[in-house]
Copies of this chain bind each other. A is one copy, B any other.
Amino acid sequence: MNNRLVTMARHPAQLTVSAEDFQILEVPVAEPGERELLVKTIYIGVDAGCRAMMNEDPYVVNMAVGHPFVGTQIAQVVQSNADGFVPGDFVHTLSTWSDFSVFKPAELGPWCYKIDGDLSLAVHLAGLGFTGFTAWVGLNEIARPTQSDTVVVSAAAGAVGYAAGQLARMTGTKRVVGIAGGANKCQYVVEEGGFDACVDYKDPAFADHLKTACPEGIDVYFENVGGKVQQTVLPLMNDFGRIALCGQIAQYGDEVSHGPNWLPLTLKRLKVQGFLANDHFECFAQFRGETEKWFRSGDYKSPVSIVKGLENCHEAINSLISGKNLGRQVIQVAEAY
């Protein structure tokens, strides 16, 4: 069996990556040992964190040159020495970006679990996977919107933002406003995602439009982008507002840039809190129970943008950087067998 493994060839010179930043090695397929699985990769999830890790910036979780990329994926079991798994099973797992991989499910803890085959496979990397879970944690464990709150979500057409806005709407928040790039995305977010409004940050009148879209100010900001969007949102925050810091894609290519002055945080008594969903695994079953019901009824949607071929992984990252993707960005490595 042919097995390719994606490694980092160099730190990218700019925010956009090129094929030369990656090296694809031909490697042997390992033989699964005791309690191990051999799986075939079908979909790999790609997020802005994949790009952030490629920086040399010491503030960011870093990859060394020559190291393989690792991330969440949907795979199919080829050979099983682990209890509870048989060939043909679909699994959510955390592994190298490669055609095949071998691992012990027991060592991956909550990252590795079997997937029901009756839903589309990619949704398990998207609205029903850790992407949706990130949105759920940011809302339920960090920002906690009430029924009288206005919630604003940046990168609203991205996987996490799109899930966050829908989840806020379904838990009964007063008003959900998205921020996205371009009129088409904004229209999609409102018409398909059910947001009350969505504002185009590329429009020169963005700040005015955002203010109009939030007539009672902003109580919760679900932050996915940083940069200028963040600077526009902050002055509209109401007293006692909460900001859930999920990602700041606009800043991943920067030198360590400045952020906003903190004085308004004191005067408005704001809470700004960074979070990572994997600190909250104990809530994953609750999240799955709620969202799978909504997904099956059609109330909770989870679009997926697919780049085909492991060799095109740079295109998948650039799709996120440029905002080309709608919903969850994945690489399709193979078909299910």
Could you tell me which A residues sit within 8 Å of B by CB distance? 59-61, 223, 226, 230, 245-248, 251-252, 256-276, 279
Contact = CB atoms under 8 A, between A and B. Distances in A.
B263 A226 contact: yes
A230 B259 CA distance: 13
Contacts of A266: 245-248, 274-276
A86 to B, nearest CB: 38
A265 B251 contact: no
Given A251-B263, A258-B261, 7 more contacts: A59-B267, A258-B258, A260-B262, A262-B272, A266-B275, A270-B273, A272-B273
A226 B262 contact: yes
A329 to B, nearest CB: 19
A49 to B, nearest CB: 10
Contacts of A246: 266
B267 A61 contact: yes
A331 B164 CA distance: 52
A259 B262 contact: yes
A257 B248 CA distance: 20
Contacts of A252: 263
A174 B230 CA distance: 36
16 contacts: A60-B267, A247-B266, A248-B263, A251-B263, A258-B261, A259-B260, A265-B273, A265-B274, A266-B274, A267-B276, A269-B276, A270-B274, A271-B271, A271-B272, A271-B273, A273-B273
Most buried by B among A61, A257, A262, A270: A262
A280 to B, nearest CB: 10
Nearest to A279: B269
Contacts of A264: 59
A245 B267 CA distance: 9
The 10 tightest CB contacts between A and B, nearest first, are A258-B258, A266-B274, A265-B274, A271-B273, A272-B272, A245-B266, A259-B261, A259-B262, A269-B274, A259-B259
A61 B266 CA distance: 11
A87 B45 CA distance: 75
A59 B265 contact: no
Contact of A258 (B230, B260, B265): B260
